[in-house]
Structure 1
């Protein structure tokens, strides 16, 4: 990354995926990413919400950005009759302490209806979530 930045004069970045089978391994990988000078670590959604929150706390303590990858997302969000809307996942990720997540686009692999994507963006960017029981 540093070589590419030097060669082009552009700012380059990378997201090192630290997902592993245990929290100990994820912390070790995240420490390695930090030693390399990375400012962002990535995890996969499929590690679970408790592990995501643990990594978010680690990222805060280490002044790093946490980005969850949506790996596996379509297995529970693309079903029309059951599953979970990504808007709920957006809220959970905010509550868990992640810094950013790919909300999707109107074309491509994470495609969706423009209003649906706008809804995801609104959920992620809202400063306050109104109570609606």
Structure 2
């Protein structure tokens, strides 16, 4: 995947990077006979610029784009999610900046709230963290927001931070992945 910081910096020419990555993907596929992929970071300063990047990725035949949903904002994420869904692209969500919001013991909010907001905004999979390794979180709490992201119906389970039964009805889930 692209790094979350690789988005709009002047020395990071997104169009050139997308072209180089697409070339590498197709070369690797030709050499191995396997399907390859790369999450191209479409995060930008405006919705219009993000859509422009997603359109270019689609024209290159790349199946996945990435968005930093907290730094990009929920409206931008929803716009990009709708474009991707309508045009056959997968949308990988990165949670860059989450620790400023959800790792503070005395203020802020739990990632479970951010996960619910993402599910309503849209995305296909999210860099969610794990219960081991560098992305480590508390086991039961991590499993709780993983359930919130992917399951249609979640029973109340205070040990996992689920304080009431939740029915997502037909709202699409988001697949939690460890992509660090």
TM over 0.5: yes
Match of 2:73 among 32, 41, 48: 48
SS in 1 for 2:127: coil
Aligned to 1:7: 31
SS in 2 for 1:20: coil
How far does the alpha carbon of each residue in 1:73-110 deviate from its partner, in whole angstroms, 9 at most, with x for none?
A: 11111101111111111111111121111221123332
CA drift of 1:111 comes to 1.2
- C-alpha distance in 2 between matches for 1:48 and 1:109: 25
Match of 1:33 among 34, 50, 57: 57
Aligned to 2:98: 73
CA drift of 1:68 comes to 1.4
Residue segments in structure 2 that go unaligned for 5+ positions in a row: 1-24, 155-165, 168-180
Structure of larger gyration radius: 2
Confirm or deny: 8 A CA contact 2:95 2:128 kept in the other structure.
no
Question: Please, what TM-score do these two structures have when normalized by structure 1?
Answer: 0.90
- C-alpha distance in 2 between matches for 1:53 and 1:34: 18
Match of 1:18 among 39, 42, 54: 42
Confirm or deny: 8 A CA contact 2:130 2:136 kept in the other structure.
yes
Aligned to 1:118: 143
Runs of 4+ in 1 over 3 A off after TM superposition: none
Question: Please, what TM-score do these two structures have when normalized by structure 2?
Answer: 0.68
CA drift of 1:11 comes to 2.5
CA drift of 1:4 comes to 1.4
Residue segments in structure 1 that go unaligned for 5+ positions in a row: none
SS in 1 for 2:124: coil
CA drift of 1:22 comes to 1.1
